[in-house]
Amino acid sequence: MSRTAYLDASALVKLFKPERETPALRAELPRFPQRVSSELLAVEVRCAARRLGGGLRGRAELALTGVGLAPFDAGLRERAGRSACSPPLRALDAIHLATALSMASDLDAFFAYDADLCEAAASEGLPVRSPA
């Protein structure tokens, strides 16, 4: 049985731009060989790599490899836009939460590092992880 993890941009960026939490995240991710996210992750990660510079674009593309990207469809747009979660989320975080909730029964972990997103996801019953 494959274990599935949802990764938002705050987690995936740590895989190509080393940060304090990167070693702990890298140590935990192998337990979750199937990885998923919103298709918006590809845009967020590529923009982050360009913004950060330093030749990270190739490493960003490699980090995206193997992440199944769920389409941002009308149902997710509606769910994210009407979310009444607490705390209130920024648009991209609301989209990640809505996407993860749409596949919640298949998720074994929800990796994120944004405090508001983690709190909202936990309040919705998602198995939040932020290894540090």
Position 1 pLDDT exceeds 90: no
The per-residue pLDDT for 86 is 82
* Number of structural domains in the chain: 1
Q: What is the pLDDT of residue 92?
A: 95
Q: Does 122 reside within a domain?
A: no
pLDDT at 30 over 80: yes
Q: Which tens digits make up the pLDDT trace of 69-84?
A: 999 999 999 999 988 8
Residue 49 within a domain: yes
**Looking at the domain assignment, is residue 132 inside a domain?**
no
CA 67 to chain centre: 10
Summarised one tens digit per residue, pLDDT across range 5-29 is 999 999 999 999 999 999 999 999 9
Question: Is position 33 within any domain?
Answer: yes
pLDDT above 70 as % of the chain:
98
| Residue 128 in domain | no
28 domain residue, yes or no: yes
Closest CA to 63 of 73, 71, 52: 52
* C-beta pairs of 9-13 under 8 Å, 24+ apart in sequence: 9/41, 9/44, 9/45, 9/48, 9/92, 9/96, 10/112, 10/113, 10/114, 10/117, 11/111, 11/112, 11/113, 11/130, 12/37, 12/41, 12/45, 12/63, 12/64, 12/67, 13/45, 13/48, 13/63
Residue labelled with tokens 């992750």:
41
Task: For residue 106, give the CATH number of its domain.
Answer: 3.40.50.1010
- Block residue for tokens 């979660």: 85
Domain that holds residue 63: 4-117
Q: Which of 56-65, 84-93, 122-131 is the least confident region? A: 84-93
130 lies in a domain?
Answer: no
Q: Is the pTM of this model over 0.85?
A: yes
CA 126, 4, 64 angle in degrees (round to 5)?
A: 105
**In which band, very low, low, confident or very high, does the pLDDT at 87 lie, cut at 50, 70 and 90?**
confident
- On whether residue 13 sits in a domain, the answer given is yes
